[in-house]
Structure formats: C-alpha cells, structure tokens
Amino acid sequence: MATLHVLFACILALLICSAAAAESYNKKNQVPAVFVFGDSLVDTGNNNYVHTIAKGNFPPYGRDFAGGRATGRFSNAKGVADYIAQVLGVKQLLPPYLDPSLDLQELLTGVCFASAGSGYDPRTPQKMNAIPMMTQLNMFKEYIKRINASVGPERTQEIISQSAYIIFMGSNDLTNTYPNRRLPVHRRILHRSYDQPSSRLPQVYANVQKLYEAGARRIGLVELPPTGCAPAIRSSQGGPRRECSESLNRRIRLFNSKLSLMVDQMNQELPGTKAVKFELYNHFVSLAENPAPYGIEEVKRGCCGTGNIESGVLCVVPGTCAAADKYLFFDSFHPTELAARILTYQTLSPPDLSKLF
C-alpha cells in the first residue's frame, strides 16, 4: 500500500510539474484567446446545436464533470480542447461557439468551432451531418464580425492577429471516408506530387490558407493519434486478439509525415505565419505501452459499456466502469479526461509552443 501511495504521489507531482512549466512559460508568452477547429476529439458541445446523432450530451458522458453534467464533450469530464486552452494560459474551459448563452468575455478569450464527425474532406461530415471545416471557418468569420461590433476594429485586429489557432482533425477522413473510395489513400490526401519534398495536403493547406486570410498567424496543427489502436478499430479489424490496425496506423503516419512538410511550406509561403506541427502520435503510443506510471490499467477497452464498440448513442447501455481514470479511453474512440490532460500537456510542451511566438 505504501508503494502505491508513492506511485500516485509521483504521478501527481509529474502532472503538477508539467502544468507549472506550461503556466510559467505562458506568463511570458500570453495569447489573448485560443480558437480550436476539428472533430469529436475537440468538440466541446457544438453538436448539441446541430441535427446529428454524433452527440455526447447525455450520460454517461460528463459524469465526472462539475455537477455530473453532460456538456457535449466525448469524455467523462473535460476534453482535449479545454486543456489546450489551459496549457495556453487562457482559461479552464473552452466553450462551443454555437452556445447561445455565451457572454462577451467568453467570446473575447476564444471558443471552439469543432464538430464531432467532421473532417478535411467535404464528404466526411456528410455521413453524420457534422459541421464541415469550411463552415467552421465561416463561423470564425462570423465571430470576427460579432466582436468587431462589440469592441471595435482595433481591439478585434489585436485579438485575431495575436491569438492561437489549433486544428485537430483528420481521423474521420482516414477511418471512415478514404477506405470507401477507390483511389489509393495517398493519392487522395496528398498533392499529386506527393512523393516530392514539396508535397503537401491540399485540403488541409487550403483551409489553413483561408484561416490565414481571415487574420490568423499563430497556427498549430496537431498530429493524428494512432486511431488504429482505438477499441472500436481493435474490435472490427484486430482479429481474435484485438490487435491495433497497422494498415490504418500506417496511413496515419503517412498523413503526419506529410503534415510536417506542409507546415514548412506554410511558413515559407504565408508571410508572418508561425505554423507548428504538434507531435501527438508517439506520445499516445508511449502512454498506451506504459500506462502504469499514470495509474491507467486498461488501454484496449473503453470505460463505456463493454468497452469494445460503444461510442456516442451506444454509450447509453449499462455497465460503464467505476473509475474512468484507470482507462485510456472513455468510449471506443475518445480518451478519458486523465488521458486527454496527459496527452495535451505532452503534445503542447513549452519547446513546441515557443515556435508559435
């Protein structure tokens, strides 16, 4: 028992030190606001206001949130977007832009535009009636008009030019959309000269360029995690032993490698841009392979239901686990709050964040 207490004390100290380092860093590099674009991994509740089945606004989601409230986050409590805002030193929770109750102060310090089920490919959000990336960008343009009407053009320009913009999406494209189309995956997601050093991801680049044209300069793109190791993919593609899908993870690694090239291209072609690719894939693999130091015991099944296939509306089935912090995944695709916190602090480390400034 004494050893167990020491172990958890070490875990707590590690998390506190990571948070303290980030907070100390951000006192020197404060951003006025943070804006997040993406899919269910960062949706904080926009889909609550969309006619779609891709929602997380019912139990057991949010069961460990303040008041046990299901907010639309696909988590037992806070999600990745909240910790992005926290790491950047802006605020503790990042609200969804579509929440009609948002006050001016919440708007001025940033919001989330992400939508569960979305992707870079326009066909991807159609499957779930999610908010396409292009529409998320249009929502951002609408946001600019709203704050301009409230605080004037000078303050608006200051907020837009100095804030941090994080894009985290693509898993739905590679998992749901591209396997159903005829062309090889690399021909679809990459430039036709994909095998050249100057290759880039045209759909990603086009969206980032539109964000740049709207005034964004500090732009971070988060790598995709090894979705081939998500419980649902293990169950559907991993065979009797529920192994990770190496074919899917291989495509994800290809996407991530090309993302690095595209970020370099952005910094060369878009004047004044400080674009950064944040590495997530290896952090996720390390946590899955060595979860014990963080108190995590289960990495192949989610906390919700059987843990094998349940996500979204399927999570209403009985049998949700007693202690979510012992799991890497809350449902069959999305991390628990603990995992989200660990991975966000590791991914947005001070050395990488410094590239935004």
Q: CA 107, CA 155: separation in Å to the nearest integer? A: 13
Backbone angles phi, psi at 108, to 5 degrees: -70, -25
> How many angstroms separate the Cα of 266 from the Cα of each of 9, 201, 229?
43, 11, 30
> How many angstroms separate the Cα of 318 from the Cα of each of 100, 231, 261, 307, 310?
32, 18, 45, 11, 11
- In the set 121, 163, 171, 334, the catalytic residue is 334
- In the set 82, 163, 331, 332, the catalytic residue is 331
Q: CA 224, CA 221: separation in Å to the nearest integer? A: 9
- In the set 40, 115, 118, 199, the catalytic residue is 40
Q: CA 106, CA 99: separation in Å to the nearest integer? A: 11
For 25-93, the DSSP string reads HHHHS--S-EEEEESTTT-SSGGGGSSSS----STTTTTTSGGG---S-SSSS--HHHHHHHHTTS-S-
Quick check: bond before 60 cis, omega within 30?
yes
Q: CA 263, CA 64: separation in Å to the nearest integer? A: 37
Query: Can 331 be counted among the known catalytic residues?
Result: yes
- Residues in the chain, how many? 357
The label of the residue with tokens 């001016």 reads 104
**Residue 154: CB partners within 8 Å, gap ≥ 6?**
none
Query: Can 40 be counted among the known catalytic residues?
Result: yes
Report the catalytic residues. Answer: 40, 331, 334
